[in-house]
Amino acid sequence: MTITTGDKLPDATLLKMGADGPEEVALSDKTKGRKVAIFAVPGAFTPTCHSAHVPSFIRTKADFDAKGVDEIICVSVNDPFVMNAWGKDTGASDAGITMLGDPQSEFTKAIGMDFTAPPAGLITRSKRYAMLVEDGTVKVLHVEDNPGVCETSAGESLLDAI
């Protein structure tokens, strides 16, 4: 079942790079009692994700802060090593965006946002989306129809909806 506005996020454990290597992150700890923007991409370093989606949230970070958003999280079906390198390469980490990996696609599948595109080498990846979550509940959800496009899921579009 695909998640929709009004649904609670499922329990999920994602991964980030810590000082001593990969660390587990309980998504519920990130969202409990907080307002969080979560956006997901098909893959780190892929063209639209790298040149459009992440930059849209870097550009709008201060505006999200001004609207009371506690944290912006980028999720991708990649390992935490890749997410760490990508966060550094794009400037997302320096901008204060949290880069979390869902390497086995468990969270992505649990919310019904997985897809596979073998011709592009994308196997069990995440659809491109952005959501606003308040205290674990989805308040706004924007899903792209085409994974190669970043319009309704861009930082500016989510910001306009909140």
Q: Quick one: pLDDT at residue 45?
A: 86
pLDDT along the chain (162 residues), means of 10: 94 95 97 98 86 94 98 97 96 97 96 84 87 98 89 95 94
Cα 148 from Cα 22, distance rounded (Å): 29
The reply to whether 150 belongs to the active site is: no
CA distance 28 to 11: 6
- Residue 143 has what pLDDT? 96
pTM, rounded to two decimals: 0.95
Domains of the chain: 13-161 (3.40.30.10)
109 contacts: CB under 8 Å, gap ≥ 6: 124
Q: Read off the tokens for 41.
A: 């991409």
Which residue of the set 9, 27, 36, 49 is catalytic? 49
Give the per-residue pLDDT at 12: 95
Return the pLDDT at 151: 92
Phi, psi of 91 (to 5 degrees): 90, 5
